[in-house]
């Protein structure tokens, strides 16, 4: 397969990748990282071409503040963002933390849905609008790059959402994020939401629109891509899709969906995709969150084939069962896992890779014993195959 998927496609519309592994990702139960682990993750995100690193929530604790400030200091290429509620104290803390960055951003958010405003904030829509404008104005006192998020945006009344968006852009917001905070939207609905807001808000061309999708219904990646079709040009996501509850949209899936299906999605990121597997491993180890075996792109089975029919196909042509090369995401090679579903072709191929040339008769005999072994063991390893070869030699000398 010609490998065209490692670097950004020329001519594709560029989408900003905003990684929130260190903020929304770290926010999920059990994913806390140490200071050193956060630095390792941030360095990797910067090297692999993430455009914006949301480094944390500086007002949450001194530890979070220090981590954001240090990431701001050491990051070479990416914008470094700090999260803040609309409260002045939060904005100031975020401003102090990101002032060390070459390019710093304050990301302020407030809930805009009826259920959140009434029960969580106990504020009227007018108060929420005022809080938003005040927060953006205050944040602009620290940095030129200010993002405003309408928390629970997908369950927000559209007229109110449009009023807020218009007002925050007037106040100086340069990015407007409409999150699907509870993972409730669908691709068609989310695409239409961005189209409507961009059409109805007169100054919408003054800001970059952003998607931020949670995965409660397993649609975070599809929704994110639909939001981009609706006109958003920033995608908020996390490595391995970690995040609150069912997680956030997975960065690696978004990046590869745009690369592999460029025919459908004429957009691309600046991510060096060959670093995706390494990033996944670093985040899994830092958070102690294992990656599910069948996880798209970075799961250990993503490039593994066990069934005889698939292995036979793969030995004839890799495009039979792979839509991207393992190398394009940083995996050394496809693995044909030998187990009870494997066929003769894969067994012979592995023997040959291990340096054993066998006759058709020997293969027949060894294959029967391989199948017996595979029935007892889940996976047959190279050591087991060596033992089969030794047994076969002994058998020949009997």
Query: Which positions touch ligand KIV (CB under 6 A)?
Result: 24, 109, 149, 151, 177, 179, 181, 212, 214
Of 15 and 110, the one with the shorter C-beta distance to ligand KIV is 110
Of 149 and 175, the one with the shorter C-beta distance to ligand KIV is 149
Distance of closest approach, residue 379 Cβ to ligand KIV, in angstroms: 40
Distance of closest approach, residue 332 Cβ to ligand KIV, in angstroms: 35
> Which residue has its beta carbon closest to Zn ion?
24
How many angstroms separate the CA atoms of 65 and 58, rounded? 4
Ligand-binding annotation for 24, yes or no, is yes
How many angstroms separate the CA atoms of 68 and 366, rounded? 59
CB-facing half-sphere around the CA of 226: CA atoms within 13 A: 18
Q: Which class for 2: exposed (0-12), middle (13-18), buried (19 or more C-beta within 10 A)?
A: exposed
Q: What, of ligand KIV, Zn ion, none, does residue 147 touch, CB below 5 to 8 Å by kind?
A: none
Of 24 and 253, the one with the shorter C-beta distance to Zn ion is 24
59: tokens are 């007002």
Positions in the binding site for Zn ion (CB under 5 A): 24
Ligand-binding annotation for 46, yes or no, is no
Of 64 and 151, the one with the shorter C-beta distance to ligand KIV is 151
Ligand-binding annotation for 107, yes or no, is no
Q: What, of ligand KIV, Zn ion, none, does residue 277 touch, CB below 5 to 8 Å by kind?
A: none
Q: Which class for 299: exposed (0-12), middle (13-18), buried (19 or more C-beta within 10 A)?
A: middle
Q: What, of Zn ion, ligand KIV, none, does residue 160 touch, CB below 5 to 8 Å by kind?
A: none
Q: What, of ligand KIV, Zn ion, none, does residue 151 touch, CB below 5 to 8 Å by kind?
A: ligand KIV
DSSP for residue 150: E
How many angstroms separate the CA atoms of 362 and 383, rounded? 18
* Residues, the chain: 398
Q: What is the dihedral of CA 171, 174, 180, 185, to 10 degrees?
A: 100
- Residues 6+ positions from 280 with CB-CB distance below 8 Å: 239, 240, 252, 291, 297, 298
Distance of closest approach, residue 212 Cβ to Zn ion, in angstroms: 6
Of 86 and 181, the one with the shorter C-beta distance to ligand KIV is 181
Distance of closest approach, residue 148 Cβ to ligand KIV, in angstroms: 10
Binding-site residue numbers are: 24, 212, 214, 248
Binding-site residue numbers for Mn(2+) are: 24, 212, 214, 248
């Amino acid at each position: 397969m010609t490998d065209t998927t490692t670097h950004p496609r020329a001519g594709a519309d560029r989408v900003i990748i905003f990684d929130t592994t260190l903020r929304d990702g770290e926010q999920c139960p059990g994913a806390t990282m140490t200071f050193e682990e956060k630095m390792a993750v941030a360095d990797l995100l910067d090297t692999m071409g993430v455009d914006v690193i949301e480094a944390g929530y500086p007002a949450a604790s001194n530890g979070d503040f220090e981590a954001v400030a240090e990431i701001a200091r050491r990051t070479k290429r990416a914008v470094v963002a700090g999260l803040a509620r609309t409260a002045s104290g939060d904005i100031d803390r975020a401003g102090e933390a990101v002032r060390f960055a070459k390019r710093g951003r304050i990301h302020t958010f407030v809930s805009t849905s009826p259920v959140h405003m009434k029960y969580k904030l106990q504020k009227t829509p007018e108060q929420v609008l005022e809080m938003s404008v005040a927060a953006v104005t205050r944040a602009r006192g620290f940095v030129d790059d200010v993002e405003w998020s309408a928390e629970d945006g997908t369950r927000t009344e559209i007229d109110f959402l449009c009023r807020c968006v218009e007002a925050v852009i007037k106040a100086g917001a340069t990015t407007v994020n409409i999150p699907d905070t509870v993972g409730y939207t669908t691709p068609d609905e989310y695409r239409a939401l961005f189209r409507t807001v961009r059409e109805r808000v007169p100054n919408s061309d003054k800001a970059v629109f952003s998607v931020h999708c949670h995965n409660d219904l397993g649609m975070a990646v599809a929704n994110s891509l639909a939001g981009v079709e609706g006109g958003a040009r920033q995608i908020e996501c996390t490595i391995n899709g970690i995040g609150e509850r069912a997680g956030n949209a997975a960065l690696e899936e978004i990046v590869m969906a745009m690369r592999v299906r460029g025919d459908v999605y004429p957009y691309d990121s600046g991510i060096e995709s060959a670093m995706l597997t390494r990033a996944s491993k670093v985040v899994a180890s830092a958070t102690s969150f294992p990656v599910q075996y069948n996880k798209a792109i970075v799961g250990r089975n993503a490039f593994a084939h066990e069934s005889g029919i698939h292995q036979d196909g793969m030995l004839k042509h890799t495009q039979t069962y792979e839509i991207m090369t393992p190398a394009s995401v940083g995996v050394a090679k496809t693995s044909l896992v030998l187990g009870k579903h494997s066929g003769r072709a894969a067994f012979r191929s592995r023997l040959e890779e291990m340096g054993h040339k066998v006759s058709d008769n020997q293969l027949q005999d060894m294959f029967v014993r391989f199948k017996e072994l595979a029935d007892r063991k889940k996976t047959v390893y190279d050591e087991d195959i060596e033992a089969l070869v030794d047994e076969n030699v002994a058998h020949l000398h009997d």
